[in-house]
Structure 1
Amino acid sequence: GGHWYVAIQTEKEVPDPVHPSTTAVGGDRGVANLLTLSDGTMFLPVTAYRDLQKKLAREQRKLAHKVKFSANWKKQKAKITRLHQHIAEIRKTVLHQISTAISKNHAVVVLEDLKVRNMAASATGTVESPGRNVRQKSGLNKSILDQGWGMLKQMLGYKLQWTGGLLLLVDPAYTSQICPVCGVVDAGNRKTQAEFHCLHCGHEAHADVNAAQNILARGLLGWQSTAGHAGVACFAA
């Protein structure tokens, strides 16, 4: 991409950091919002690829019309590489800003242990067993990959470690369908992408905020069961 990078590794002893905050927060990653926290905070989705997709396709069409490995082909190839790099840098900048803000303000962050590679797998299927809703699934895959969910998790992990915080990962099963008031799990509770309405007790909430609260509760419960009686009580949800 026209850039050189240098990595320098150093080693030093530092005291164990103590996080200045005493709060814990759950986070629900999505495509409508990149991340929704259990306290109601929402971070807008990353749209770097979507915003530059048409330009990228146009440059790739130009490449297809050039003689392979010619001087002009190499120039166009380098131009596409720089555009890909620009998209990645935009995504990384947004994720750094979000992860820094969260790691500074919360001592414990709980996320779902998502298998992003499986979630973004192709839906084309095979000749014998073709996939369904392939075009819609392809669009969803692009949106998922554009968000950089795995990179966000990685950044939160090491930044919380730097500040003395902790990142917890929980099983994602049914977190969007559980009612935090009555505890009933029902697929019908999540009426739309943004609306949660419990069919049993009538509790209503923003669907992503509700999921984030369930994620937080599951993370703290699991941490308490493994860490013993000490630890969780000092964090305020």
Structure 2
Amino acid sequence: MLSGRRYRLKLTEAQVAQCEEFGNLCRAVWNTALDQRRQYRKRGAWINYNEQAGQLADAKTEHKWLKTAPSHILQQALKDLDRACRDHGTFRVKWRGKQRWNPSFRFPVGKLIEVERLNKRWGRAKLPKLGWVRLRMTRQLGGTVRSATVSRDGREWFVSFLVDDGKQTPGQHAIPNTSVGVDRGVVSAVATSDGKLIDREFTTPGEAERYRRLQQKLARQKCGSANRRERDRRGDFCSQVAADLTDRNALVALEDLRTQNMTRTASGTTEKPGRNVSQKSGLNRAILGKGWHKLELALHNAARHTGSEIVKVPAAYTSQTCAVCRNVDPNNRNSQAVFRCTGCGHTAHADVNAAVNVLAAGRAVAACGDLGAGRSAKQEPQPASTPVEIPRL
């Protein structure tokens, strides 16, 4: 199994300058290659990675500054661009601006990378053309290095090793007959079908006020920020929740939410201004602040180690449907927190009720398979093998 190991680097001034130069070269190669792809597409033609990699080799004879960086990190920039263009489309891939993009580059050949532990806290790694670099050894590698990515985050530099730890995903979960439904919200980050509301504050009131003042100061200064505390706390929260859910459940069902589409701006254009822009902006900040997409990624990553199955179900009407009588009514949800069915009078926490509906749909998908996987649309899902216990207020 391939796993990631991330360590903070302690570079010399010369190594910092060298890393900045490598990052700038990768950015230049990315932007030049992207411009070339767009010019080709405008003419109705197509250029792929192999052709651009050949042109890069020829460009090195004319532009000596390209030889400063190892060839394979520039080729990796072209490979990343090729994958991005295939996944998103050539004209949707963004330019890498000097102020908006944190420098990063990848060494893809693991056999050229050496890692040694110096003492309890520190280690070092030998990277092509960078030589030996010191790193904060917070954990053992635990496997064979396949590649290494060096990146800058704020003012600090980090190295991420892709490691083959020799493990295999379990064929079956340790507790095979367990399942849970997950509803992601803006008040409580996670609500589960067994009645748990999981949340935490990623910034204290004092930190929020300080952040506001720093943002005002930043608006009058050069672009860029070294404040990453809130993001790190959010990532740690998602990792802990994902590990707990996958450890205890063989099936984890969650809504299929298109977070990127849900958080698009409502400002519109000059000709057609948007409506309720401030309210939409607040909702976007709340969604992004709870880390919905990051939690989904963390669940998939944690499931590799436990053998859990992650099932995504349609999100439509899960918050308006009564988990007891299946009555669908927008008036069922009296408020953000209270669900009271207009049909049978069932009362529960609104997010927990939605999580129960998600679990029921997830069990049906797990039992019969998704419609897109070949199941007939006329086939009725079989009832769940075990009843779903519905927590009440």
Residue equivalent to 1:95: 238
AA paired with 2:269? Answer: T
| Aligned positions of 1:151-162 closer than 5 A | 151-162=294-305
Residue equivalent to 1:191: 334
Q: Which among 200, 211, 228 is matched to residue 354 of structure 2? A: 211
Residue equivalent to 1:220: 363
- Contact 1:49–1:146 (CA under 8 A) maintained in structure 2: no
Residue equivalent to 1:163: 306
CA RMSD of aligned residues (A): 2.7
Deviation at 1:226, TM superposition (A): 2.1
| Aligned positions of 1:175-186 closer than 5 A | 175-186=318-329
- Contact 1:196–1:210 (CA under 8 A) maintained in structure 2: yes
Q: Distance in 1 between matches of 2:172 and 2:304?
A: 10
Once the two structures are aligned, what percentage of the paired residues are identical? 37
AA paired with 2:172? Answer: V
Deviation at 1:15, TM superposition (A): 6.5
- Contact 2:169–2:306 (CA under 8 A) maintained in structure 1: no
Per-residue Cα deviation, 1:63-118 (whole angstroms, up to 9, x for no partner)? 4445x5xxxx8xxx4xx22x1x2221111111111111111111110000000011
When residues 65 and 226 of structure 1 are mapped into structure 2, their CA distance, relative to the original with a 3 A threshold, is closer
Per-residue Cα deviation, 1:107-165 (whole angstroms, up to 9, x for no partner)? 11000000001111111122333222211211111111011111101111121221011
| Aligned positions of 1:9-88 closer than 5 A | 9-10=163-164, 12=166, 14=168, 16-21=170-175, 22-48=177-203, 52-66=207-221, 77=224, 80-81=225-226, 83=227, 85-88=228-231
Deviation at 1:218, TM superposition (A): 0.7
Please, which runs of 5 or more residues in structure 2 have no aligned partner? 1-153, 376-380
Count of aligned residue pairs for this structure pair: 224
Q: Distance in 1 between matches of 2:308 and 2:218?
A: 48
Higher share in strand? 2
Q: Distance in 1 between matches of 2:292 and 2:334?
A: 25
Q: Distance in 2 between matches of 1:31 and 1:216?
A: 20
Deviation at 1:50, TM superposition (A): 7.8
Residue equivalent to 2:101: none
Residue equivalent to 2:144: none
Q: Distance in 2 between matches of 1:213 and 1:26?
A: 6
Deviation at 1:235, TM superposition (A): 10
AA paired with 2:310? Answer: L
Q: Scaled by the length of structure 2, what TM-score is found? A: 0.52
When residues 13 and 159 of structure 1 are mapped into structure 2, their CA distance, relative to the original with a 3 A threshold, is closer
Q: Distance in 2 between matches of 1:209 and 1:164?
A: 25
Deviation at 1:23, TM superposition (A): 1.0
- Contact 1:91–1:147 (CA under 8 A) maintained in structure 2: yes
Per-residue Cα deviation, 1:185-211 (whole angstroms, up to 9, x for no partner)? 111111111111111121111111100
**Secondary structure of the corresponding residue to residue 7 of structure 1:** strand
Residue equivalent to 2:108: none
- Contact 2:169–2:307 (CA under 8 A) maintained in structure 1: no
Q: Scaled by the length of structure 1, what TM-score is found? A: 0.83
Q: Distance in 1 between matches of 2:215 and 2:357?
A: 44
Q: Distance in 1 between matches of 2:349 and 2:248?
A: 23
| Greater RCO (Cα-Cα under 8 Å, separation 6 or more) | 1
- Contact 1:17–1:162 (CA under 8 A) maintained in structure 2: no
Deviation at 1:57, TM superposition (A): 3.5
